[in-house]
Amino acid sequence: MKQIIKFGCLLGALLAGFSAFSTSANETDESNGIRLIFAFQNVDNYPYQVGDGTKVQSPLPGVAVEQMQDMAQRLELQLELVRVPWKRGLQMLKEGEIEGLFNASYKPERREYGRYPFQGDQVNSELRSYSNSYSLFVHKDNDINWDGKTFNRVDFRVFAPLGFSIVDDLKKKGLIVNESSQVLSQLVMVAQKRVDAVALLTPSGQAQLSDHPDQLNNVVMLPVPLTSKDYFLMLSHQFVTRHPELSDKIWRTVAQIREDAAHTRRFSKYAN
């Protein structure tokens, strides 16, 4: 009888150990063949996301897009990319319609929609996708000035991309902010002195000036950036709950690619 009990205990321990091993192994190997849907905005954010509309551009979709494609290849994931308005993307993430949304600066209220990579109780900047800045674009004859902390006056109206974090930043400084997804048309209005200023991600605004010199020859960028921020891939609550280890692996792989020399060289393709 004792032998039977001992055998039963041994068998139970072996099965428990096998179960734990299987769970760990499944988490380790779960990336193989998993299909993900990642969304990014449907307006140009050069050079990170190129072009407007729902089409993913080819062969130069944007540096951030290529970064995500590299991550999926390294982890043997099947990645589908879709382009949607930013606010719609946040809602899709919250509802679990997509697994990821890129790239978002950190705002505490956005944690309602999805997960950022965290270390303790702080967002982990080491796992950012990239860093970027916002700048203000004005007519060359405009007297608006920004010293990095304050404006010389706040009696002007500024346009900013719909749903972007810079909107709240500017409102906190006392400015009247209008949101629009029509970046080029707003810059043209600046050139015509019909709009005071437009706040844009710096590379995106610079690209517009370069691509449309005839229309925007009177528009200049203020020399001091409005702000600099880290940008992250957000993953859905549902995905992180189901795949915590894979989620961490995805964020870490994105960060590794950011530092790769091959990824850094990509920027030169978009500069030509």
CATH number at residue 75: 3.40.190.10
Residue 176, pLDDT > 80, answer yes
Whether 23 maps to a domain, the answer reads: no
Together in a domain, 136 and 216: yes
Whether 24 maps to a domain, the answer reads: no
**Whole-structure pTM value:** 0.71
Together in a domain, 218 and 233: no
Nearest to 208 by CA among 220, 225, 196: 220
| Residues near 261 by beta carbon (within 8 Å), at least 6 away in sequence | none
Together in a domain, 140 and 253: no
Total number of domains constituting the chain? 2
Residue 38, pLDDT > 90, answer yes
Whether 266 maps to a domain, the answer reads: yes
| pLDDT tens, position by position, 85-131 | 999 999 999 999 999 999 999 999 999 999 999 999 999 999 999 99
Whether 5 maps to a domain, the answer reads: no
Query: pLDDT category, 5, cuts 50, 70, 90?
Result: very low
| pLDDT tens, position by position, 203-221 | 888 888 988 999 999 999 9
Query: How far apart are alpha carbons 94 and 78 in whole angstroms?
Result: 21
Which string of DSSP letters, residue by residue, matches 2-48?
A: HHHHHHHHHHHHHHHHHHHHHHHHHHHHTTTT-EEEEEEESS-BTTT
Boundaries of domain holding 190: 132-228
Residue 11, pLDDT > 90, answer no
Q: Which residue has the higher pLDDT, 216 or 23?
A: 216
Together in a domain, 156 and 39: no
Report how far apart, in Å, the C-alpha atoms of 176 and of each of 154, 156, 162 are. Answer: 8, 7, 14
Axis crossing angle, helix 261-271 with helix 244-259, rounded to the nearest 10: 60
Query: How far apart are alpha carbons 37 and 31 in whole angstroms?
Result: 14
